[in-house]
Amino acid sequence: MTAPEAGGPPRLTRLTFHNPLSEARAATLVGRLSALSPATVLDLGCGWAELLLRVLAAVPDATGTGVDIDRDDLDRARRAAQSRNLADRAVFVEESAVGTRRGPADLVLCVGSSQALTDVRPPEHLPTALRALRELVTDDGRVLLGEGFWQRAPTAAELSGMWPGASADDHPDLGTLVDLAIEAGFRPEYVETATQEEWEEFESAYQADVEVWLARHPGHPLADATRERVDRHRSQWLHYRGVLGLAYLTLVPVVR
């Protein structure tokens, strides 16, 4: 649990994963990827590295490296590794993933963080990020990519309520996303997408701590700014609900 800032609400304690990922899907992914017995695992934009730690727990001889720029998330990852007796096999580094030399690894995790691999701004970053991932994985390894896509074309009204400057060009459709992975030197072993239930659990848990805190502390000095922030995020989510998807692509590098 991350300590509240200046008496404010706790931060993301209801989330196990920082993406719409259910326990059932996580177990399937970890089982599938650990069956390959990767010796090295690289998690880019790892956050608190829950998926990385589960893979390490499933592959006793594997070592892992998590890369992120968020110090609080990395501290949470280190505490989790220590509590699970994985600290001797997991290293967490606070640095940019742009041009990283941490690979090649047998398994590369990049879930919701492809933008961290390049200075090119989204959505044009995807080809560059995918090529970078190809360089960071061994020829007989795997990449697990979690990436946003449009489930259908968003309407103008929906876009107007999403993030500032939201555009229909911000994400590809699923077919285009898979095509971009192929063009970058991969074959798609599995193409899976987050369910509506996974999205709703994630988005609700993302704000649950803060919502409860606001209900209990309506007059707190931080309440007005906090309420504005969470109300804005909820409104954005309800505009992209059912429109924005997240793909989980298990990618096999094409031998060169």
Does any domain span residue 182?
Answer: yes
Residue 209 pLDDT class (50, 70, 90 cuts): very high
Does any domain span residue 29?
Answer: yes
Per-residue pLDDT at 5 exceeds 60: no
pLDDT tens-place string over residues 31-41: 999 999 999 99
Number of domains in the chain: 1
Does any domain span residue 32?
Answer: yes
Does any domain span residue 164?
Answer: no
Exposed, middle or buried: residue 124 (CB in 10 Å: 0-12, 13-18, 19+)? exposed
Cβ proximity of 30 and 54 under 8 Å:
yes
The CA-to-CA distance between both ends of the chain, in Å, stands at 44
For residue 133, give its domain range. Answer: 23-151+171-198+245-253
Task: Give the mean pLDDT of 224-247.
Answer: 97
Count of C-beta atoms within a 10 Å radius of residue 149: 18
**Residue whose token pair is 């090649």:** 104
pLDDT tens-place string over residues 113-172: 999 999 998 889 999 999 999 999 999 999 999 999 999 999 999 999 999 999 999 999
Does any domain span residue 212?
Answer: no
pLDDT tens-place string over residues 168-201: 999 999 999 999 999 999 999 999 999 999 999 9
Residue 30 pLDDT class (50, 70, 90 cuts): very high
Does any domain span residue 235?
Answer: no
Strands 244-253 and 186-193: antiparallel
Residue 2 pLDDT: 43
Does any domain span residue 165?
Answer: no
Task: Give the pair of three-digit tokens for residue 39.
Answer: 């010796």
CATH number at residue 44: 3.40.50.150
Does any domain span residue 229?
Answer: no
Residue 7 pLDDT: 76
Cα gap 227→204, rounded to integer Å: 15
Give the residue from 178, 147, 149 showing the smallest Cα distance to 243. 149
